[in-house]
A and B are shown apart, each in its own frame.
Chain A
């Protein structure tokens, strides 16, 4: 039973991940990636990470919904009605990624990982909350600053007009 709980989302996660690069329709590609993230969210639930699992689903489905808009905006043939190939160096990429998988798998299986120290706290959500507000506060303040910078920088890069011609200006 426990094996099924692990393996079914795991197969969905990897399978949907492969589907991202095999389907023609951009809507299908984006939501295949969203499905992969949802499956990973379920895996996190197995690890007693209720909050992080649900937040992963929340964040990633939202991100993919926005991503779909950009995918369709920028890709030729976004509905996949006229299949075309948009890849380069396929064989090299395949060889490299298989090599990376094998070496990562070897590291995962062969390394003597340390024994488990301590037990899962009664409420992991509370544990991460206090962690963020106490010992790891500096990290999260850094993340906050980075996120704010990102908002400003992304707007500056992407917006074609400045704050002084809100109504469109002479373009």
Chain B
């Protein structure tokens, strides 16, 4: 399938799709065991928990700390949602992409590096110990998963011979990249979990530091931070679909619907796995990232490069 630039108004439905998928992730997260609904009884009330929480946070009065750095706090709170939207802008839905950037893969990477700044600022600015610990944990973990994530993004770009996400989707016409780059796919998903503070890599927002970067957030601020987390997870899943699962390719249904369905499936896996995997301490993340993930993903890129050279 071919991918081309969409008209400017397409930004709105894509943004709506991002928020809808993020909400779906929140509902699924609440409904699954070990999720945000905690010990609430099973049933529809459990799944409706995110809705009730949203309503509560919208009405809650914000509390602040004594000497908060207001400007940096606003950057930290609004950052995740904005960055998720900027990530999705370069992901093709079906045959259309909102921002036809020729270096979309690098763009996605640059956006996830901007999260280093944003999440650390959200931890720093309240001038409170637990968020600060969370912010530093995020940086430490990022040092562990970022390099493997970079090379995981490199593998499909090498195979397609382009940094343009649309061209990568087109290059998967015969065979999805996940089939012959499973390692890169898995590493990308771990990276997505890392930059979304998710599951085993959720230590920056962990319960052992009273919620870490979320600890001092209340009211609309908290809503934005939590929504940003689900939105980031969604953006990461959408990128994984475009790079490894053939984008909008599929029989019968229109392309954009296939993109949405595949993204929903990857997102669902990420959400369901959250409560079923043990948490990993940040120092272990760094050690595993450099000693295990980096060499393995480098071998994956080497294998891909050899295939590309041999095939010509």
Which among A52-60, A87-95, A113-121, A156-164 touches the partner chain?
A52-60
Please name the residue on chain B nearest to A129 by beta carbon. B163
- What is the CB-to-nearest-CB distance from B115 to chain A, in angstroms, rounded to a whole number? 9
Contact A54:B106 (CB < 8 A) given known A27-B125, A65-B120: yes
- What is the CB-to-nearest-CB distance from B148 to chain A, in angstroms, rounded to a whole number? 15
Is there contact, CB below 8 Å, between B72 and A50?
no
Please name the residue on chain A nearest to B72 by beta carbon. A27
Is there contact, CB below 8 Å, between A25 and B114?
no
Q: Does B121 contact A (CB under 8 A)?
A: yes
Q: Does B286 contact A (CB under 8 A)?
A: no
Q: Which of B101, B106, B121 contacts A27 (CB 8 A)?
A: B121
Q: Does B136 contact A (CB under 8 A)?
A: yes
Bin the interface of chain B by size.
20 to 34
Q: Which of B103, B136, B139, B146 contacts A51 (CB 8 A)?
A: B103
CA–CA, A139 to B187, complex, Å? 31
CA–CA, A123 to B72, complex, Å? 38
Q: Which of A31, A62, A64 contacts B72 (CB 8 A)?
A: A31
Q: Does B102 contact A (CB under 8 A)?
A: yes
Q: Which of A58, A62, A68, A69 contacts B106 (CB 8 A)?
A: A58
Bin the interface of chain A by size.
20 to 34
Residue numbers in A under 8 Å from B117 (CB-CB): 31, 34, 61, 64-65
Is there contact, CB below 8 Å, between B127 and A79?
yes
Is there contact, CB below 8 Å, between A69 and B136?
yes
CA–CA, A133 to B110, complex, Å? 23
Is there contact, CB below 8 Å, between A28 and B72?
yes
Is there contact, CB below 8 Å, between A125 and B110?
no
Is there contact, CB below 8 Å, between A68 and B102?
no
Report B's interface with A, CB cutoff 8 A: 67, 69, 71-72, 75, 101-103, 106-107, 109-110, 113-114, 116-117, 120-121, 124-125, 127, 136, 139, 142, 146, 163
Report A's interface with B, CB cutoff 8 A: 25, 27-28, 31, 34, 50-51, 54-55, 57-58, 61-62, 64-66, 68-69, 79, 81, 123, 125
Q: Give me 24 A-to-B residue pairs in the complex whose CB atoms sit less than 8 angstroms apart, sorted by A's number.
A: A27-B69, A27-B72, A31-B72, A34-B117, A50-B102, A51-B102, A51-B103, A51-B163, A54-B101, A54-B106, A54-B110, A55-B106, A57-B114, A58-B106, A58-B110, A58-B113, A61-B110, A61-B113, A61-B116, A61-B117, A62-B146, A65-B120, A68-B120, A79-B67
